[in-house]
Structure 1
Amino acid sequence: MSELKQQLRSDMMTAMKARDALTLGTLRMALAAITNEEVAGSTARELTDVQVLAVLTKEVKKRKESAEAFDGAGRTELADKERAESAVLSAYLPAQLSDDEIPDLVASVIAELTASSGEAPTIRQMGVVIKAAQAKAAGRADGSKIAAAVKSALA
């Protein structure tokens, strides 16, 4: 079992003993999402910490999108609950890169790709650069921000 999944289980037990309903419910949902991901596909598998982080990142993104939808519908109490759940899950994610650090990361990836291939990537190779940048960011930056930085760097 991955360390992060074990940490989530341990924190869930702590929340259960402390009768912290928000944290308990949020961690239960996160563990259910992880289990669903483990059994998805043709064979069951054990997720690594990186894969668990990807699931948690997806769950945080869902919560943020739900909060925006609830705000748009005038349901502030539900939006606040979604934001609180997002905050609980965000505590398990690595620190996010700032908006100033993302272009630097993209520039270093472009430099590495240029050094390995002998020529600078073009806008046609944007997908390759995005994939390499996302791998280097390792879940510390939103994919859309990385894509935007790559597009502006290659344009």
Structure 2
Amino acid sequence: MTLEERIQEDIKAALRGKEKTRLDTLRSLYAQVKDERIKLRPKRELTDEDVVRVIMSAVKKRKEAIELYRQGGRQDLVEKEQAELDVLQKYLPEQLSEQEVEKIVDEIIQQVGAASIKDLGKVMGPAMARLKGKADGKMVQSLVRERLTKLSS
């Protein structure tokens, strides 16, 4: 069963279970997945990797919204976005811990031979290729910056 099919099945289950938040979130996600499929249609079929990318985009939007609502003192909206975020994260592959990401970043820095912050681009390319879908891009970037800053000082 593809990820897209799993989302469709879960929409049906949420309908039967009358789970409004889950249903609304999954319907919104499915609409985004459908848009992605239409966008890719002439070139190729939609893969699970494409669906994961759509989900990660939706997760990122929810996290940003949560932060903005917190700053604005809107706890009701924070809770709503957090509930949607919890639903979405169930469809993402297992995320690596910060320690695992640090280990991979250190390996890549050694492989590339990076010596200073000027080599950020050389490290970020391979790092994101290897960690795509497994770690948050902002966390990877901050770890790479931190490591390269230590190397140059």
Task: Name the TM-score, length of structure 2 as normaliser.
Answer: 0.85
Deviation (angstroms), 1:59: 0.3
Deviations 1:59-111 (A, max 9, x none): 01111111222222222111111100000000111222222222101112233
Q: Aligned residue for 1:131?
A: 125
Corresponding residue of 1:82: 81
**Corresponding residue for 2:72?**
73
Q: CA deviation at 1:44?
A: 6.5
The answer on whether the counterparts of 1:39 and 1:45 sit within 8 Å (CA) in structure 2 is no
Amino acid of the residue matched to residue 62 of structure 2?
Answer: R
**Shift of residue 131, structure 1, vs aligned partner:** 1.7
Match of 1:50, SS?
A: helix
Q: For 1:1-155, list aligned pairs within 5 A.
A: 3-40=2-39, 43=42, 45-113=44-112, 120-122=113-115, 123-155=117-149
TM-score (norm 1): 0.84
- Name stretches of at least 5 consecutive residues in structure 1 with no aligned partner: 114-119
Match for 1:121: what amino acid? A
